[in-house]
Structure 1
């Protein structure tokens, strides 16, 4: 399908998916994603939106080189997804924080830096700066089980940013939270993104969340996942909670909802 003009921060494509299809072989072959073509520009915040089982997470994992496509190619800044992963271009935040309960918060954030064998002083300094960025400096010496779900997810975001990735991949990171916590973390995520400037690909099944966060919303059809619409979100930045009740916000949400009809 033809992709409309993009509204990202620059005109440089950072991620390009060409004719991506993914088949899982089980008792019977399952076509999860079918012929997806998409360009994501550097510094852009893009949401992958669709119902459960439409292939959103599969598509994200393909970008991250956690899965390999059955058909098609993925280009990341002129490299393959595997090369980009080996170059540590990705930070990944999963649906659940996946923190180590026996490690304190600072130690959890430092973990990928330990893998890279950075000097201890540098690891601590970077972890402390990131905890300040996500508003958790006071909890550096707490254990994850002492924090709320939303705070744990902020630790996971800090950990994902520890390697200073160019691309942040987020798989429904706030879906397990109550609506109040979710909206607050949406605002905090945008504040973090405005400071780090990473390209963000964000998986969600929430239309309001996608509209509030994104430069563009990519709508996927029910199984098999096909890219059926790409909707520009022209709401000004920085986004504010008042925008959630604006006429333009509801118009955009309705347009996205209408794009599911007949799919």
Structure 2
């Protein structure tokens, strides 16, 4: 039986990134080529300083590469950004403390001039999606760190983006909360069915979440390996205790040897 052909939604070809200053030049990324299929969940994995966040920002058209090309659905990253194909979740929730939860989630809709009745309906749907029903009238400072990140995820999904870019959104949380939110994120992804690019420095997190893991090595950031994750879905706590899970951890750790 033939394997179904993968059609890339995001394509990077020989992407490089250099930062220049009066004193020196930093080669942050070098000749990164990869493709991500529509509806895939992929992780960018590597140690601090390997260029994971830079690569994500390039995909989002927040910065531009100094070499190579980036295509999103066959168009430029800039065209994709202008077409609002992206939703972005940062390491910190970046919520406005003076706005209630429902108002934070509705902010992109307000900026786009969506009618109040439609905003209210959409926010109610998103609060249910991220399991925060009953918290819409709270302020961010009244929520735990994990709940704040769920608000940030809801806000990123408010414009129904085709691609969700996530920059280490759970790195500041304790391990128990982080694992629970990993499971909740997969539940959300299963309902939304968008493409997710997830930056992390946690090997176990990347394996638990992803269809594929792109492993980056530092100085300059290069794509050192691509690891397919064949673990069945849906995934749960038992997944983390399976021999296959530990074998994948060992395989990815091995890819860092000599780096």
**TM-score band, normalised by the shorter chain?**
over 0.9
Contact kept? 1:47, 1:216, Cα under 8 Å:
yes
2:235 corresponds, among 227, 231, 239, to 239
Superposed CA offset, 1:134-175 (max 9, x none): 000110000000000000000000000000000000000000
Q: CA deviation at 1:16?
A: 0.1
After superposition, residues 21-170 of structure 1 pair within 5 angstroms as: 21-26=16-21, 27-170=23-166
Unaligned runs of 5+ in 1: 1-6
Give the direction of change, closer, same or farther, for the CA distance of 1:10–1:47 in structure 2 (3 Å limit).
farther
CA contact (8 A) 1:10 1:41 kept: no
Q: Quick check: 1:44–1:200 contact (8 Å CA) kept in 2? A: yes
The number of residues matched between the two structures is 256
Q: Which residue of 2 aligns with 1:248?
A: 244
- In the other structure, the counterpart of 1:19 is 14
- Structure 2 stretches lacking a partner, 5+ long: none
Distance between the aligned counterparts of 1:31 and 1:109, measured in 2? Answer: 37
Following superposition, which runs of at least 4 residues in structure 1 exceed 4 angstroms of deviation?
Answer: none
- The aligned residue for residue 226 of structure 1 is 222
Q: Measure, in 1, the Cα distance between the counterparts of 2:167 and 2:152.
A: 12
Work out whether residues 46 and 200 of structure 1, in 8 Å CA contact, stay in contact via their aligned partners in 2: yes
Distance 1:10-1:111 versus aligned 2 partners, 3 A rule: farther
The answer as to whether partners of 1:10 and 1:43 remain within 8 angstroms in 2 is: no
Cα distance in 1 for residues equivalent to 2:144 and 2:246: 31
Cα RMSD of the aligned pairs, angstroms, is 1.1
| Separation in 2, partners of 1:121, 1:28 | 54
User: Normalising by structure 2, what TM-score?
Assistant: 0.97
